[in-house]
Amino acid sequence: MQRNVRLGYLGFEVRDLSAWEAFAVDVLGLDIGDRGDDWLALRCDDWAQRFLVTQGPSDDVAVLGWEVDDEAALDAALARLRAAGVETTRGSDEEARLRRVERLFKVRDPAGNPCELFFGADRAAAPFHSRHVRSSFVTGAQGLGHVVVSASDPDQSRRFYCDLLGFRLSDRIVCDVYGHPVDITFLHGGPRHHTVAIGGRQRKRIHHFLLEVTGMDDVGLAYDRALRARVRIVLTLGRHPNDRMFSFYAKTPSGFEFEYGWGARTVDDATWMPTTYDHISEWGHHPVAVAGATTTEKTNERTSGTGGAVRGDR
């Protein structure tokens, strides 16, 4: 039987809540759903909340919320986890109320990332409105977006997400990026090309999360807002070969990254054939430091007339 599993919500524990509020609203284009003295709930669609941002010292992801279709799907996933000897803990009614979901269970992935399996998310009373996004965020059957999770043992993490949570292989990218070996496995749990990707160990619990918009201009507009807000752009605009996402990468106020994209293709399990790519981008996605060095050195080369190879221009 086909299993559906989507990224439902993300929880972040952040040092600077007011910086996060400004970043989420004015750069990402999210909307405040609710708030307390030391927390913010953020919306990007008809759900009551998609992000729960709480003041705290870790400056990292606090929870990855994986959505399944219903109670039967949740029970089936729990049975698989318990049979594999993975500890599961039922979330309290208070925790379910805070997450705005019907029922949740807590579990850690092999790298220790805190995960929650849930169903039955609350919908908001009011329609979603973004101050900045002119199109809309791609959610629904594709879920909130995707995450690249930290994995201390990638094989073990792949088995956990595929055999126990129900994800399937989309493809792999194995290549060298600016001198760094890259080996990333992309997994889907529904039509979104990938909902979770596994590379290696990251400094934070995720390398990045993705938000996808339905209008290409909204990627450019977000890029402009990020520049104006002096958010650190990490990778320039580019297009990935596997999901065909047109996107850029930048830092959140907590140091892990976000990807903001448009135009990804979807997966149909009936016809999908996993493959391995030998490059991470069709074009673009250059580290800003390298792109900057190239530009500066090209300028020097032009003005000095020395010619020769340009360091970093690969």
Residues near Fe ion (CB under 5 A) are 210, 259
Q: At closest approach, how far in Å is the CB of 62 from Fe ion?
A: 20
User: Smaller CB distance to Fe ion: residue 21 or 243?
Assistant: 243
Minimum Å gap between C-beta 261 and Fe ion is 7
**3-state class percentages of the chain: helix first, strand second, coil last, to nearest 5:** 25, 35, 40
Complex with Fe ion: residue 115 or 211, whichever CB lies closer:
211
Report d(CA 224, CA 79) in Å as an integer: 47
Q: How far is the CB of 236 from Fe ion (least distance, A)?
A: 15
* Tokens 């953020």 belong to residue: 42
First vs last C-alpha separation in the chain: 46
Nearer to Fe ion, 118 or 258 (CB): 258
**Cβ distance to Fe ion smaller for residue 74 or 197:** 197
> From the CB of 147, what's the least distance to Fe ion, in Å?
8
Distance separating alpha carbons of residues 71 and 90, to the nearest angstrom = 13
Half-sphere exposure of 52 (CA within 13 A, CB side): 16
* Cβ 192 to Fe ion shortest distance, Å: 11
Of 98 and 210, which has the nearer Cβ to Fe ion? 210
Which residue sits closest to Fe ion, CB atoms considered?
259
Nearest to 216 by CA among 196, 197, 237: 237
- Helix H or strand E segment including 17: helix 17-23
Compare residues 100 and 240 and give the one whose CB is closer to Fe ion. 240
Half-sphere exposure in the Cβ direction for 15 (13 Å, CA) = 9
Closest approach, Cβ 256 to Fe ion, in A, equals: 12
Residue whose CB is less far from Fe ion, 42 or 147: 147
Following DSSP, what letter does each residue of 63-120 receive, concatenated? EEEEE-SSHHHHHHHHHHHHHTT---EEPPHHHHHHHTEEEEEEEE-TT--EEEEEEE
CB of 135 to Fe ion, least distance (A): 19
